[in-house]
């Protein structure tokens, strides 16, 4: 019964297709069954079973509150009008206004956005911030679009969703393919429509528009805090510990820098150009400086030995941090992992099928919905600062982020002992229990 997907979200279809002279970007087909989002739903089902949640509650939690699909005709630089398809899914508003990023990527489709929106509900609940979950996206390829085209697309998307967004309703943020620049356009378009400046409608804005100090490194910082909390449980001394980090972008490089600051020797890092290993430990600050001077890439980094991306996963390190992309730890490579801990900086880096083998091997996994929640936590702080019209110091933001992450880790850890489950299933239990209990108290809604 639980496997049945009841497809009854409230769907508003607002497409406005131009009758002639238009081109149309076909949304990507729905991906196969063994994708990270399907993996997430398998863990959700497992946690729900352990919690003994009723069937009614199961569907309340599973089916999104609202799904909006919008057709977005955009004037391209060529003078032609191209129509894009965009989505916004509000999975839950039980804990508060919904929160979630906007993804600009050719692979965006409604199914993916639905699952990512649910993911946000669990992530916000696990770190106990008063937000529901949402996600948005447009099927487009920003890498092939000019800045003007992206701006017109972002403004069209905002206009189409004016009734959905709002500082007390639904608060977007950046995701793959969008950043502070796009959030500034969204804030401007929304503010114009309301006749006043409303910074709290979106987070991840540039600092000058009310963005928060500490947001850039927040996710990496949360990874560091949860890695240290896990090491403490496993009695690993950070000053004698080693780590390997896959992905040297925002999350991976900040996690590596901050772990290094706490004494952990970073033996390997990688990015799309390849993986780099140094048995004496990589000078992370030097690698960041190299990347900055080298067009954002580690290609040609000579202070470490090049190894294959696959080999990075099998190194005899204490901590492995996948911080690049989804579905990188699978049944195929899990057997050769030697790390004692995996801290998931990326979303969905481990497939559900690899979970059992990881558990059998006794590897501790700090799951994505906990480990990378530092980002949404500082987004929440940005919203709070915008609402009170005040700016906090970096020191205050870091202190509060660290406390939220550590409290969340401790709660998940205790839950894992109570239910005798992995930290991953425990994190889902904490999140689902919180949303379900809130729903019960509120009734109705």
**Stretch in the footprint of ligand NAD (CB under 6 A) among 28-36, 43-51, 323-331, 416-424:** 323-331
**Stretch in the footprint of ligand NAD (CB under 6 A) among 109-117, 228-236, 340-348, 400-408:** 340-348
Smaller CB distance to ligand NAD: residue 76 or 272? 272
Indicate left, alpha or beta for 418 from its phi (over 0: left) and psi (-120 to 50: alpha).
alpha
The residue from 70, 198, 323, 365 that contacts ligand NAD (CB under 6 A) is 323
Q: 269-288 mask for ligand NAD (x: CB under 6 A)?
A: -xxx----------------
The residue from 58, 122, 157, 248 that contacts ligand NAD (CB under 6 A) is 248
Q: Report whether 256 contacts 291 (CB < 8 A).
A: no
Q: Which residues contact 301 (CB under 8 A, 6 or more apart)?
A: 276, 287, 290, 294
- Give least dist CB 275 to ligand NAD, A: 7
- Give least dist CB 277 to ligand NAD, A: 13
Confirm whether 135 is a catalytic residue.
yes
d(C-alpha 291, C-alpha 382), whole Å: 28
* 375 makes contact with ligand NAD (CB under 6 A): yes
Of 243, 424, 433, the C-alpha closest to 349 is 424
**CA-based Rg of the chain, rounded to a whole angstrom?**
21
Smaller CB distance to ligand NAD: residue 57 or 272? 272
**Stretch in the footprint of ligand NAD (CB under 6 A) among 53-61, 249-257, 398-406, 421-429:** 249-257
Q: How far is residue 192 CA from its own chain's centroid?
A: 29
d(C-alpha 66, C-alpha 92), whole Å: 8
Counting Cβ atoms within 10 Å, is residue 274 exposed (0-12), middle (13-18) or buried (19+)? middle
Of 151, 49, 139, 124, the C-alpha closest to 87 is 139
Smaller CB distance to ligand NAD: residue 203 or 416? 203
* 249 makes contact with ligand NAD (CB under 6 A): yes
- Give least dist CB 285 to ligand NAD, A: 16
Q: How far is residue 413 CA from its own chain's centroid?
A: 21
d(C-alpha 128, C-alpha 137), whole Å: 25
Counting Cβ atoms within 10 Å, is residue 10 exposed (0-12), middle (13-18) or buried (19+)? exposed
3-state secondary structure of 142: helix
* 346 makes contact with ligand NAD (CB under 6 A): yes
| Active-site entry in 62, 135, 205, 434 | 135
Segments in 269-332 forming alpha helices (H): 284-293, 309-312
Smaller CB distance to ligand NAD: residue 258 or 324? 324
- Give least dist CB 327 to ligand NAD, A: 10
The residue from 69, 219, 416, 422 that contacts ligand NAD (CB under 6 A) is 219
* 158 makes contact with ligand NAD (CB under 6 A): no
The residue from 345, 354, 426, 429 that contacts ligand NAD (CB under 6 A) is 345
Residues that bind ligand NAD (CB under 6 A): 219, 246-252, 270-272, 309, 323-325, 345-347, 372, 375
Which residues are part of the catalytic machinery? 135
């Amino acid at each position: 019964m639980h496997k049945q997907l009841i497809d009854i979200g409230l769907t508003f279809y607002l497409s406005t297709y131009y009758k002639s002279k238009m081109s149309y970007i076909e949304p990507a087909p729905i991906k196969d069954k063994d994708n990270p989002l399907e993996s997430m739903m398998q863990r959700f089902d497992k946690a729900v079973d352990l919690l003994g949640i009723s069937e009614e509650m199961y569907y309340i939690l599973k089916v999104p509150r609202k799904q909006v699909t919008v057709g977005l005709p955009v004037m391209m630089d060529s003078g032609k009008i191209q129509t894009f398809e965009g989505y916004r899914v509000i999975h839950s508003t039980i804990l508060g206004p919904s929160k979630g990023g906007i993804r600009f990527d050719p692979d965006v489709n409604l199914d993916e956005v639905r699952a990512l929106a649910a993911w946000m509900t669990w992530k916000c609940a696990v770190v106990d911030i008063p937000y529901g979950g949402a996600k948005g996206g447009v099927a487009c390829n920003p890498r092939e679009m000019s800045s003007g085209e992206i701006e017109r697309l972002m403004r069209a998307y905002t206009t189409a969703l004016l009734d959905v967004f709002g500082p007390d309703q639904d608060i977007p943020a950046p995701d793959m393919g969008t950043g502070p620049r796009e959030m500034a356009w969204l804030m401007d378009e929304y503010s114009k429509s309301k006749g006043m400046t409303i910074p709290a409608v979106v987070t991840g804005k540039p600092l000058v528009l009310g963005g928060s100090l500490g947001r850039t490194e927040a996710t990496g910082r949360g990874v560091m805090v949860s890695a240290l909390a896990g090491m403490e449980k496993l009695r690993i001394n950070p000053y004698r510990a080693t780590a390997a980090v896959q992905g040297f972008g925002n999350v991976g490089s900040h996690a590596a820098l901050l772990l290094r600051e706490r004494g952990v020797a970073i033996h390997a890092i990688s990015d799309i150009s390849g993986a780099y290993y140094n048995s004496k430990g990589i000078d992370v600050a030097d690698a960041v400086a190299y990347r900055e001077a080298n067009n954002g890439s580690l290609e040609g980094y000579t202070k470490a030995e090049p190894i294959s991306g696959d080999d990075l996963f099998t190194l005899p390190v204490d901590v492995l941090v996948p911080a690049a992309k989804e579905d990188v730890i699978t049944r195929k490579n899990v057997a050769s992992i030697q790390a004692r801990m995996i801290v998931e900086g990326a979303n969905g880096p481990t497939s559900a099928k690899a979970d059992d083998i990881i558990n059998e091997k006794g590897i501790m996994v700090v799951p994505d919905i906990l480990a990378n929640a530092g980002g949404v936590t500082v987004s929440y702080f940005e919203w709070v600062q915008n609402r009170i019209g005040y700016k906090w110091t970096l020191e205050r933001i870091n202190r509060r982020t660290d406390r939220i992450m550590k409290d969340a880790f401790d709660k998940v850890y205790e839950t894992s002992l109570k239910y005798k489950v992995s930290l991953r299933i425990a994190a889902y239990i904490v999140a689902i229990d919180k949303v379900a209990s809130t729903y019960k108290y509120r009734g109705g809604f």
